[in-house]
Amino acid sequence: MNKVQLSVIGLTSGQTQGSYTLILGEKNGRRKLAIIIGSFEAQSIAIEIEKIVPFRPMTHDLFVSLSHLFDIELQEVMIHKLQEGVFYAKLVCVKNAETHDIDARTSDAIALAVRFKCPVYTTDEIMLAAGHEINIEEKTEEENYDLPEEDIEQERILIPGLELDEFSALSHEELNILLDEAIKIEDYQRAALIRDEMNKRG
């Protein structure tokens, strides 16, 4: 089995309300996988990539804390099967020099991978079956859909909900205050957009 390493290169809004498209790209190539995931998992992946610290731990953060407490390390994530349009993933964990495979949804597996900073792999067979070079013409949910190309947004980390224009006229200090308030009330959609505006300014 030839393993292909992947990285998260984008999160965009999905075709249906409450869905998001996770875009994974191969590290040493041009092919990409598009996987539709739920809003909670999309938010969890995005706030970790954007380095937003939640006011209280999210579910995936809790899993990481428990793993560290009991000396369990996530070594890698493997997207190992594509069956009837559904992607199957497993967590490859190590404890006391013993390796254990744990079945997981692909979205949860990626949310954990970005926290453990571990590699994500798939097989060359899956990339041949579902990968796309540069332009993505399908979305996949744990299922494949034919979609017009204009429905695929520019690849970027995104949690829809508010527009960046809302923050463009505010000062850096005002943005910091809004960011703190958003995190305190656990409005991570708003926090992510504020952080995007701050990062854009440098």
pLDDT over 70 percentage in the chain: 80
pTM score of the predicted model: 0.71
Position with higher pLDDT, 102 vs 52: 102
Q: What per-residue confidence (pLDDT) applies to 43? A: 85
Of 112 and 135, which is predicted with more confidence? 112
User: Does position 133 have pLDDT exceeding 50, yes or no?
Assistant: yes
How many whole angstroms separate alpha carbon 126 and alpha carbon 73? Answer: 26
Percent of the chain with pLDDT over 90: 41
Give me the pLDDT at residue 46, please.
87
Nearest to 72 by CA among 120, 116, 110: 116
CATH 3.10.690.10 corresponds to the domain 3-160: yes
pLDDT at residue 160 in the model: 38
Residue 114 and residue 60: Cα distance in Å, rounded? 10
Confidence of residue 79 (pLDDT cuts 50, 70, 90): very high
Which DSSP string corresponds to 47-111? Answer: HHHTT---SS--HHHHHHHHHHHTT-EEEEEEEEEEETTEEEEEEEEEETTEEEEEEE-HHHHHH
